[in-house]
Structure 1
Amino acid sequence: MSEQRPAGGEQRDDSVAQAHGELALARIALAEDDLAHAAGHVAGAIAWAPGLPEVHELLAALAARAGDEGALELFAVEQPAFIGTVVARAHLQGRHDPMGGLRMLAQATRFDPAQPWADVSWVRAVPVRRLDPEELARLLVTVMAGLGDPAERAVAVANEVYLDLARRATAAHRDSALLHGAAAGLARRFTALSPGALAEAVRWGAHGHRLRPDKLTSVWYAYALKADGRLDQALQVMRQAWLAEPGEVDLCADMASWLADAGRLDEAIDLLDTAMRRAPDYDCAVHTAARLRFQRDQDVAHLVGLVDYTREHPVTSHEHADLDGACRGRSWLSMVGGPAESVIRLLHQIDRGDRAMTGTASVSALEVPSALAVVRRELPGLCLTIEGEPPADMVGPQRPDGTVLWVYDGLLARPAVPPPPDRAREVLDRIVSPVWANPVDAYDRALPLGQLGPGDLLSLLVHPPAGTDPRFPDGVWERAAQVYACLGLLHCEQLRAGAAPGDTGRARALLTGIAFGVEDWTTEAALFALVVAAWLDPAGRAEVRGVVGGRFLEAVQQSRHRVVTIRESLAELVLITPDMVPEVSSLAREVLTRHRERDAPEAAAPPAPPRRRRWFGRH
């Protein structure tokens, strides 16, 4: 279904004006007896302003001119269906086939619930007693699927006509369990509009459950009780339904999610354990259990195990969001780790509109080249002084076979690879984002980068595109670009040429070289790509464990005599690496705990500037 309507930010007046324009053209066509063009413009007007009275007046005039059958032919639904045509036909069909018209309106509502497609007089007056209650129940199910749970107030206002329909239908069909259950499911979505709707949902749910306590009525009733704050009563209803139908393990997954939301994690997991003893491969229970176990103990093995399960048991019933939910808001699991350098904290303090300045600043020690490159690009008038001597273990590769992306001349680093071609930048720009749903999602999004050669991807690492999205702090976009360049190496067709399907051995070797090259943001990006490779391929996990753990231990050792700004980020990467050595994981947790404790008093304050900062002389 397609639509022709203004973007969300445009005003309703614009929509009404557009509708009136369509109506004016429809009237001209109708006066010339050009019914087909008149119908097209009426459909356009309905798409812009479905509740405008003039729209329905002209639709009625067109129907009178064309006759019932002729009018329906004028609004024949083709694929892809235009939403204005669908709604116009629904109104015409509703005159003689109310249920058919309502079904079409419900599909329009599911497609775009923000518009009052069904809020017209004939729907308000439809003779519900003459309609099949089970058909009405299915109609309400279609509608509620698109509303949100609960619906936003604007959506609830646009669709209150369906709540009115549910009230009249339940009063007319007191003996329909299915209708009362569906009405309960619909009503609880209208709490933003009508506080009493929740009480109606509970009442309808209870009545439907009394009439026929099966799975459907139990679920609708239980959800209404939970929405009303009666969790234990809702759980009792669900448990009774599960006892009656032990094979319905999805009931356990719902109950476990409720218990987890209430902070009762142990109960939730015990319930899922019981369910999976009966059905060990039931996908809803497996996904929910993995999320809740990770929520309880923060062990990434649960999420990696879920990825393994999903690979071996492709989703066939419906999409699951448990992996996304477990990763959401967590560094590296759903977003690039933030920069920790003092020069980036300095940059944060300068408004983007005030950066065409001259001035001087001083930092007490050398920081990684990618961070300094961002600052020099953003503050071209800054004379930055770096104190101290260049640490030998920072300005050269960590290992002799490390990939050299930066070359130092004293304290000044310059790229060791040329800038990438425009085509490579364009491919990266289309996919880069500092956030992703989960590590596997980030890998999938990087697929188009596989068409680039290794040289182009290495160039993108050292010459990442500048961030332009003001929602993200300085440096974050560049770090995300480096992450995707490294993920692109896993897809690189040249590196995969001649290898077995799924074999990323050559890419992993190159990423390992980057990880043990010059200390930089590229170190983190390469290690993250290796971690993602290990999530996807159990055969490479031992190798990746050694690389990630070894690089972290080197950073810890170096931090004993100098600042290693990427150390905490490497600790976070250790904790999401499959099968990591327990002692290394423990050290990573200790590093992060000490870091948080040290920075806790400063959490609410602006970042501290570098030592001896002198700022700023304006042009």
Structure 2
Amino acid sequence: MTDEQRADPIAQAHGELSLARVALADGDLPHTAGHVAGAIALAPGLPEVHELLAALAARAGDEGAIALFPVEQPAFIGNVVARAHLQGRHDPIGGLRMLAQATRFDPAQPWADVSWVRALEPRRLDPEHLARLFVAAMSGLGDPAEPAVARANEVYLDLARRACTAHPGNALLHGAAAGLARRFTAIAPGALAEAVRWGGHGYRLRPDKLTAVWYAYALKADGKLDQALQVMHQAWQAQPDEVDLCADMANWLAEAGRLDEALDLLDAAIRRAPDYDCAVHTAARLRFRRDGDVRHLVALVDFLREHPVNSHEHTDLDAACHGRPWLSSVDRPAESVINLLHQIPRDNRAMKGTATVSALEVPSALRVVHRELPGLTLTIEGDPPPDMVQPQRPGGRVLWHYSGLRAAPAVPPPDRQSLELLRGVAWPRWANPVAAYDRALPLGQLPADELVALLVHPPAGTDPRLPDGVWERAAQAFACLGLLHCEELRAGVEPGDTTRSRELLTGIAFGIEDWTTEAAVFGLVVAAWLDPACRGEVREAVGRRFVAAMQQSRHRVVTIRESLATLALATPDMIPEVATLARDLLSRADEPEAPRRAPAPPQPPRKRRWFGRR
């Protein structure tokens, strides 16, 4: 078989069928079945597959042929589908259920689009069984289904049309058919009108929760939101304990920008069932969306800690944090030397050159530049600001020593194993702060000194897609989360007690100004998300560190100022005046900064000088 044939599933299926015919001629039925299953998994609609499956059934008998396709776990999809077709001869609903399982597993394949399904007479099938079949089939299609998926599964819509005609008095069937039909709008524009018609008919036949939901979803998909809400309200009034109806309505209202109405509904649901997780999760996300106050998300984390068993997996916390610095990712660096580095192609960074910056910038940023541009001679103008080259408070962990304008690490490099461990754990993005903390768990096995060393000597990144400096900042953030897990610091204390870790992080946060400052503050913020008992202490530390940066920015550039503002707003129960100061700062993103001269962009080579001076 050529490479082209190997890439073509039809050609591969024909190869399997050729082997199956040889095995069948030899009377080797198990090998015949194995090759037929392989062919049907590759090309479920190929007529020759079904011809050979019929020949195998004629040789072995229906029951004998079914036994040749075992479905013990883990089941092979080809065995499941072949068995479904054989079973469908005498038990159509049983066969269809197995085909629906295959559809959920891989909805892009036309598992059910075969002649016996197209020829089924729904009048002789139980309508309740058909309804459950449609529910099973629609769950994997998408809402609505992508065009290719819809085309592969249009046979279910065809069966639903015939079933509704055959059983006009069955409410459950019509409701389920409505749920199915709205998935097919990409290939059948009239399917949405059918969904509304079937859903409305089912609801009128039997106005209960199920038929109401199917009808309401069809109305919403058809752009009739207020009608859909009316149907859902009626269903909730009839069954006040079904508070999940409120969560659905609230999401619809939020999508339409009607947040106040959505939250009123959720408040009513929570009053009815305070522990109902869907309402609590949705309400937290929508409240945060409305006012940006992180206390809603922290309250959700508290709820999760107190109610660990949920009805199903929720993504509201992740959705609320998504795309927000420090809530779902490390904040990007703001230093001018990193902006310069962005302008230099990675394959040109071995060249020698010179550049000048108008003011001192933080040590971690300068170390990244010197590592990436080893031939660069960087000149820093001005005098070293005293509040930048000395710790903000005495007594903390010293990470850097300054000699004039040059900073040197004050801690030795970590072991190679520690570097590899951090490299395998750290990443610039995470779902939410608690998820980042959980991801950092393996780092807890390292001694505190090793984790501190990783802050100053983070491993080099290996992903060229990441902007310069982002990986190093992520590694530093995870090293600080590792300090929260550090077994050495937590020895002899109650489980969950991070007092020693927080003392170390606070010392780093008030040490020499650096990216490590932000990383340490992030670690403190995460500790406060996890432990209500330390929130007052963390609020005080983070608030004071941000205010100090604001005061210093009156007479010099503080590149980590905006990042600290973001972290202040991520801190539970932040002092209102400090939160207002942080919001005002971040809202003035276009306001000119204190004067400073950035490095000039690279100029065309002239006597091998790759960086000009301004």
2:227 to 216, 225, 233: 233
Contact 2:340 2:599 in 1 (8 A): no
Distance 1:394 1:354 in 2: 32
Contact 1:345 1:609 in 2 (8 A): no
Q: 1:540 to 1:193 in 2, by over 3 A?
A: same
Aligned match of 1:408: 402
Between 1:19-28 and 1:362-371, the stretch displaced more is: 19-28
Contact 1:362 1:613 in 2 (8 A): no
Between 1:550-559 and 1:16-25, the stretch displaced more is: 16-25
- TM-score, with length taken from structure 1: 0.93
Aligned match of 1:510: 504
Aligned match of 1:576: 570
Deviation at 1:355, TM superposition (A): 3.0
Deviation at 1:574, TM superposition (A): 0.5
Between 1:368-377 and 1:217-226, the stretch displaced more is: 368-377
Q: Report the residue type matching 1:296 in the other structure.
A: R
SS at match of 2:516: helix
Deviation at 1:613, TM superposition (A): 4.7
Between 1:14-23 and 1:357-366, the stretch displaced more is: 14-23
Aligned match of 1:315: 309
Q: Report the residue type matching 1:589 in the other structure.
A: R
Aligned match of 1:346: 340
Deviation at 1:471, TM superposition (A): 4.1
Aligned match of 2:551: 557
1:438 to 432, 444, 449: 432
Contact 2:343 2:602 in 1 (8 A): no
Aligned match of 1:4: none
Of all paired residues, the percent bearing the same amino acid is 77
Q: 1:351 to 1:81 in 2, by over 3 A?
A: same
Distance 1:572 1:292 in 2: 20
SS at match of 1:413: strand
Distance 2:248 2:34 in 1: 46
Distance 2:170 2:362 in 1: 69
Deviation per CA, 1:236-257, whole angstroms, max 9, x where unpaired?
1111111111111111111111
Contact 1:361 1:613 in 2 (8 A): no
Distance 2:305 2:280 in 1: 13
1:160 to 151, 154, 167: 154
Deviation at 1:470, TM superposition (A): 4.4
Q: 1:42 to 1:462 in 2, by over 3 A?
A: farther
Deviation at 1:62, TM superposition (A): 2.5
1:102 to 88, 96, 104: 96
Aligned match of 1:390: 384
Deviation at 1:335, TM superposition (A): 1.4
Between 1:488-497 and 1:14-23, the stretch displaced more is: 14-23
Contact 2:5 2:11 in 1 (8 A): no
Q: 1:307 to 1:63 in 2, by over 3 A?
A: same
Distance 1:335 1:611 in 2: 27
Q: Report the residue type matching 2:603 in the other structure.
A: W
Q: Report the residue type matching 1:26 in the other structure.
A: A
Contact 1:202 1:221 in 2 (8 A): yes
Aligned match of 1:374: 368
Aligned match of 1:6: none
Distance 1:304 1:490 in 2: 18
SS at match of 2:379: strand
Deviation at 1:598, TM superposition (A): 4.4
Aligned match of 1:3: none
Q: 1:47 to 1:481 in 2, by over 3 A?
A: farther
Q: 1:360 to 1:269 in 2, by over 3 A?
A: same
Q: 1:19 to 1:451 in 2, by over 3 A?
A: farther
Aligned match of 1:251: 245
1:216 to 198, 210, 214: 210
Distance 1:134 1:12 in 2: 43
Contact 1:360 1:613 in 2 (8 A): no
SS at match of 1:595: coil
Distance 2:150 2:421 in 1: 41
Contact 2:569 2:579 in 1 (8 A): yes
Contact 2:358 2:597 in 1 (8 A): no
Does 1:53 find its partner at 2:47?
Answer: yes
Q: Which runs of 5+ in 2 are unaligned?
A: none
Aligned match of 1:610: 598
Q: 1:25 to 1:612 in 2, by over 3 A?
A: same
Pairing 1:350-361 to 2, within 5 Å after superposition: 350-361=344-355
SS at match of 1:236: helix
Between 1:106-115 and 1:416-425, the stretch displaced more is: 416-425
Deviation at 1:92, TM superposition (A): 1.5
Aligned length: 603
Deviation at 1:452, TM superposition (A): 2.4
Aligned match of 2:585: 591
Distance 1:206 1:249 in 2: 22
SS at match of 2:8: helix
Q: 1:121 to 1:464 in 2, by over 3 A?
A: farther
- TM-score, with length taken from structure 2: 0.93
Q: 1:295 to 1:12 in 2, by over 3 A?
A: farther
SS at match of 1:414: strand
Deviation per CA, 1:304-359, whole angstroms, max 9, x where unpaired?
11111111122331112211121111111111111111112122222334334332
Distance 2:466 2:184 in 1: 35
**Structural RMSD (CA):** 2.2
Deviation per CA, 1:430-475, whole angstroms, max 9, x where unpaired?
3322221111111112222222222332232223233333443222
Q: Report the residue type matching 1:346 in the other structure.
A: L
Contact 1:555 1:567 in 2 (8 A): yes
Does 1:67 find its partner at 2:55?
Answer: no
Q: 1:104 to 1:445 in 2, by over 3 A?
A: same
1:273 to 267, 280, 294: 267
Does 1:112 find its partner at 2:106?
Answer: yes
Deviation >6 Å, runs of 4+: none
Deviation per CA, 1:35-59, whole angstroms, max 9, x where unpaired?
2233223222322332333333332
Aligned match of 1:7: none
Distance 2:5 2:265 in 1: 49
Q: 1:125 to 1:423 in 2, by over 3 A?
A: farther
Deviation per CA, 1:61-82, whole angstroms, max 9, x where unpaired?
3222322122111111111222
Q: 1:614 to 1:144 in 2, by over 3 A?
A: closer
Aligned match of 2:492: 498
SS at match of 2:580: helix
Contact 1:201 1:224 in 2 (8 A): yes
Contact 1:361 1:614 in 2 (8 A): no
Deviation per CA, 1:128-159, whole angstroms, max 9, x where unpaired?
22111111111111122212222222222222
Deviation per CA, 1:465-508, whole angstroms, max 9, x where unpaired?
33333443222222122211211221222222222111111211
Does 1:43 find its partner at 2:37?
Answer: yes
Distance 2:15 2:423 in 1: 39
Distance 2:297 2:188 in 1: 40
Distance 1:354 1:176 in 2: 72
Distance 2:21 2:517 in 1: 67
Does 1:417 find its partner at 2:405?
Answer: no
Q: 1:456 to 1:146 in 2, by over 3 A?
A: farther
Aligned match of 2:25: 31
SS at match of 2:100: helix
Q: Which runs of 5+ in 1 are unaligned?
A: 1-9, 600-607
Deviation per CA, 1:522-544, whole angstroms, max 9, x where unpaired?
11111111111111110111111
Does 1:133 find its partner at 2:136?
Answer: no
Distance 2:437 2:5 in 1: 39
Q: 1:45 to 1:383 in 2, by over 3 A?
A: farther
Deviation per CA, 1:8-55, whole angstroms, max 9, x where unpaired?
xx9995333433343343334333333223322322232233233333
SS at match of 1:204: helix
Between 1:111-120 and 1:48-57, the stretch displaced more is: 48-57
Distance 1:167 1:467 in 2: 57
Between 1:451-460 and 1:528-537, the stretch displaced more is: 451-460
Distance 1:581 1:376 in 2: 39
Distance 2:253 2:570 in 1: 26
Q: 1:55 to 1:251 in 2, by over 3 A?
A: same
Aligned match of 2:323: 329
Between 1:394-403 and 1:223-232, the stretch displaced more is: 394-403
